[in-house]
Amino acid sequence: MQAELIDIRNHMAQFPPFDEMPEELLDQVVGGVEVEYFRAGTQILEFGQDNTWLYYIRSGAVEIFRRSGELYNRIGEGDIFGQFGLLMNKTVRFPARALEDTLVYRIPEATFQYLFENDHGFADFVETEDRSRLRSALSRREKSNDLMTSKVTRLIARAPVSAPCTVRLQEAARIMTDQGVSALLLMDESGEHPVLKGIITDRDLRTRAVTEALPSETPISDIMSEGLITIRASAYIFEAMLMMLHNNVHHLPVMDKDEVRGVIALSDIVKYESQSSLYLVSNIYHQNDVKGLKKISRDVPDTFVRMVNEDANSHMIGSAMAGIGRSFTQRLLELGEEKLGPPPIPYCFMALGSMARDEQLVVTDQDNAMILDDSFVPEEHDEYFLALAKFVSDGLAECGYTYCTGEIMATNPKWRQPLRVWKGYFTDWIENPKAEALLNSNIFFDLDGIHGNIGFAEELKALVAEKASHSQRFLTLLARNALNRTPPLGFFRTFVLEEDGQHRKTFNLKRRGTAPLSDLIRVHALACGSRAQNSFERLKVIGQTKLLLEDDLGNLRDALEFISIVRIRHQALAIEDGRKPDNNVRPEDLSPFERSHLKDAFQVVSNAQKFLRFRYNAQVGRNAQ
Amino acid sequence: MPSNPEGPSSTPNPTWPEQYHELAQQAKSPLLKAFYEAGCVDPDMPMSDVPLVALDFETTGLDPNEHSIVSVGLVPFTLGGIQLGRCWHQVVRPQLPLHQTSIEVHGITHSDIDKAPDLNEVLNKLFSYLNGRIPVVHYRDIERPFLNVALQWRLGEGIRFPVIDTMAIEAHLHPDRRPNRWQRLLGKKPVSIRLADSRQRYGLPHYASHNALIDALATAELLQAQIHHHFGPNTPIKDLWL
């Protein structure tokens, strides 16, 4: 070893198993070391890969996984890994990934074998799994969130418990008691293969059977829930959680193609990871007043930053933030109904814009509306719904969702109307479109029912899907609006910056990037008769109709993801620095990598706008900005 | 991919491989001839394949025409790994008297130097490290000019080669690193592109000792981190060398 490398030897000499090693031996070890740097998130060792090194962490942190993908350990400075593979047959048994930027010293296998045979302390150390070491490492785990990286299949504890849907009430209850499950799957066994038909839960037995004193011989098919909400076996746990919260169900059958793999319950998720950031969401439902919600809402920016640091993609972050916003709204509606009494007629509370698209970030205002039952009589009912809308809107403002400057809120009487009026609005927008009016009603074409009679919102979605694709003039005007905002790219691919005002020398990633993209994707989606709201989902539907080429779709997807992620990171950085997050970016704050890829992404937006203009024959009008 | 930090002028015409070829014909010293004949990698070669050598000199001052080299540290490496066993450090006897101030900086004393060889005596070894590799330095205005002047004295001819400058990369990534007066008032701090401060931004450890070998190693690690963060292993070398 070169004497000058004493720094490295001294570092290793602080940590077991090197701390007890004779100096000359340690010098020899250092002389054989190779140094390598891994960026946070990089896979260092893959399962089954050949490995001929023992790894020593000089700086950073590494996650060690089991073969199943389950987290096994988190280790840091001075820890070693790779030893189990070296002891077995030089293939990796525990995959490893850099959790932080990590510098490792790699010790060659020959040195490892030499140490193993000649240094008892070393051999003992690498052979035994030191429990206390493991425990101290796991205490650092709050940094990461397993919901983001673990699949729902991890929560399946047992094979699904099912019965034919011909069983009687009492028999179903008996099976559930015997098997100790809170939900029973009911199968249609008339065909060749049994098909999942419905589900019955403990709660159903309580509310539907016992309360109504049904006879024990009632066929279970009379009271089971049909039209099941299920989840793919490949989905992540956070998706399952959002799905349960979104649909207000507590059990989800997990499907592998047509086959049921098992059932997961909300309580499984809560039990699994009570420290998680998305635990915030379920916590929202335990708050009993606006004050409590406001307190929780202060954690939202942290949740956002944590997800960004965990390298979640923009779809995950957008749906998680929208899910959180939706949960605040739903809980406020529940609290409002408790305060004001049950609604006099059925209604549906709608989210609009980014929340409906599952593309929400932290900088956001509230866009919402109310659909009332057609039996609505203003003199009798409106006082209640105005009070409810005001309660929710004020509550949301308390929780950081600022009032909509365009007055697109359920507190505005124009946007608190019976279903038939809403149908009239949409029919008029689509069949007699006017450019100016459409510009303001754009946001209503991203809509999602989030509370009450969701069916009302579904009716509107169906109406839009049915009518929009047939109105060429509507599509043309909508396309023209989608061309109003151009990407900030000049001739010679330079960034075009805002010239005046507070945001001089910046460009706006939302106004010039994600918004034009979601606008143009919306036009194509409506032309295809799609009912999807999320931009990525809309692209999928557009792909099925062959309106765009596969390559163009891929480019649009990548461009949306890239611009969104740069925007998300920009906001996360601001939050971490204690600044107010915004969408205005200075080119010099971007890495050369980001700059170059952003230009590519904006070029995609620009090309897609050209195609839109051509496809819908939409010249930009005088009102272009 | 990011463009060359200094624009097209630093990818001179003819290319480095062509220049090496030409310089090999002209060089009189067998050492330099062998150096150029070992060739220069293709400008399009991805960084993952390029044989590199981190290079650091401790010197008696900053002016190559007035000051001398006191020690050299060389760390051959690739993007995939740095072999500590192949590093080399050598104290050499400077041509000029040691200044008290420089002793304080690098800690090399008169008695170290009295025993040390002249650079001339270790040139063979030095070139065995340089041949066929692209030098990596932190601040290109030290190693390249000092080596050029030292060889002119000893061999009667200078040397030319491309370098990757980890400091120039940091400077490029932080063009606005010095806040103006107004920004300073608002508490904005300057971004330091010194070796230790740059390393900190990539989560690299602090190295306590200050000598040519550790600095060369620190530079090699920094380049690995920069490539993984900003460029990727497939970046052609021509995007990065100067």
Question: pLDDT-derived band of residue A133, with 50, 70 and 90 as boundaries?
Answer: very low
Work out the angle at residue A575's Cα, subtended by the Cα atoms of residues A573 and A577, and round it to the nearest 5 degrees.
70
Give per-residue pLDDT as tens, A421-449: 999 999 999 999 988 888 888 899 999 99
The rounded mean pLDDT for chain B is 85
Tallying the residues shown for chain A, one arrives at 625
Statement: the pTM of the whole predicted model exceeds 0.80 = no
Helices (H) and strands (E) in chain B, counts: 10, 6
Report the candidate in B94, B92, B109 with the shortest Cα–Cα distance to residue B60: B94
Q: Distance between CA A325 and CA A305 in Å, rounded?
A: 16
Indicate whether A351 pLDDT > 90. Answer: yes
Nearest CA in chain B to A9: B84
- Mean pLDDT is lowest, of A43-57, A391-405, A484-498, B111-125, for A484-498
Give per-residue pLDDT as tens, A137-157: 333 333 344 555 567 877 787
Check A588 against B176: CB less than 8 A apart: yes
pLDDT of residue B108: 67
Is residue B88 within 8 Å of residue A2, measured between CB atoms? yes
Nearest CA in chain B to A101: B203
pLDDT of residue A141: 34
CA A506 to each of CA A577, A578, B1: distance values in angstroms, whole numbers, following the listed order:
19, 20, 22
Q: Using a CB-CB distance cutoff of 8 angstroms, which residues of chain B are in contact with residue A573? A: none
CB contact A59 to B (< 8 Å): yes
Helices (H) and strands (E) in chain A, counts: 24, 20
Nearest CA in chain A to B86: A31
Q: Using a CB-CB distance cutoff of 8 angstroms, which residues of chain B are in contact with residue A102? A: 203
Question: pLDDT-derived band of residue A272, with 50, 70 and 90 as boundaries?
Answer: low
* Neighbour count for residue B17 (Cβ, 10 Å): 13
Give me Rg for the CA atoms of chain A. Answer: 29
CB contact B225 to A (< 8 Å): yes
Is residue A511 within 8 Å of residue A528, measured between CB atoms? no
CB contact A106 to B (< 8 Å): yes
Give per-residue pLDDT as tens, A66-123: 777 777 777 788 889 988 888 777 788 888 999 888 999 999 999 998 898 888 888 8
Nearest CA in chain A to B229: A39
Q: Which of B6, B72, B77, B228 to mutate to test the interface with A (most CBs of A within 10 A)?
A: B228
Give per-residue pLDDT as tens, A23-34: 889 999 999 999
CB contact A38 to B (< 8 Å): yes
Q: Is A336 exposed, middle or buried (0-12, 13-18, 19+ CB in 10 A)?
A: buried
Give per-residue pLDDT as tens, A325-340: 988 999 999 999 999 9
Is residue A356 within 8 Å of residue A318, measured between CB atoms? no
CB contact B188 to A (< 8 Å): no
Size of interface A-B (CB pairs under 8 A): 98
CB contact B198 to A (< 8 Å): no
Looking at residue B231, the DSSP 8-state letter turns out to be: I
Q: Distance between CA A617 and CA A254 in Å, rounded?
A: 46
CA end-to-end span of chain A: 67
CB contact B205 to A (< 8 Å): yes
Indicate whether A625 pLDDT > 70. Answer: no
Q: Using a CB-CB distance cutoff of 8 angstroms, which residues of chain A are in contact with residue B214? A: 4-5, 7
Minimal C-alpha gap between A430 and chain B (Å): 44
Q: Quick one: residue B16, left, alpha or beta (phi over 0 = left, psi -120 to 50 = alpha)? A: alpha
Which carries the bigger pLDDT value, residue B165 or residue B186? B165
SS3 B212: helix
Indicate whether B13 pLDDT > 70. Answer: no
Is residue B227 within 8 Å of residue B149, measured between CB atoms? no
Question: pLDDT-derived band of residue A622, with 50, 70 and 90 as boundaries?
Answer: very low
CA end-to-end span of chain B: 17
The rounded mean pLDDT for chain A is 84
Mean pLDDT of A367-374: 96
Is residue A103 within 8 Å of residue A185, measured between CB atoms? no
Helical (H) or strand (E) element with A191: none
CB contact A604 to B (< 8 Å): no
Give per-residue pLDDT as tens, A215-263: 888 888 888 888 788 888 878 777 787 788 767 788 899 988 778 888 9
ipTM at complex level:
0.83
pLDDT of residue B1: 41
Q: Using a CB-CB distance cutoff of 8 angstroms, which residues of chain B are in contact with residue A2? A: 84, 87-89, 213
Q: Using a CB-CB distance cutoff of 8 angstroms, which residues of chain B are in contact with residue A597? A: none
CB contact A2 to B (< 8 Å): yes
Question: pLDDT-derived band of residue A620, with 50, 70 and 90 as boundaries?
Answer: low
Report the candidate in A518, A389, A511, A402 with the shortest Cα–Cα distance to residue A451: A389
Check B2 against A593: CB less than 8 A apart: yes
Check A596 against B230: CB less than 8 A apart: no
Looking at residue A85, the DSSP 8-state letter turns out to be: H
Check A596 against B83: CB less than 8 A apart: no
Indicate whether B4 pLDDT > 50. Answer: no
Indicate whether B54 pLDDT > 70. Answer: yes
Q: Using a CB-CB distance cutoff of 8 angstroms, which residues of chain A are in contact with residue B235? A: none
- What are the respective helix, strand and coil percentages of chain A, to the nearest 5? 50, 15, 30
Check A106 against B81: CB less than 8 A apart: yes
Question: pLDDT-derived band of residue A477, with 50, 70 and 90 as boundaries?
Answer: very high
pLDDT of residue B9: 46
Report the candidate in A228, A224, A227, A229 with the shortest Cα–Cα distance to residue A209: A224
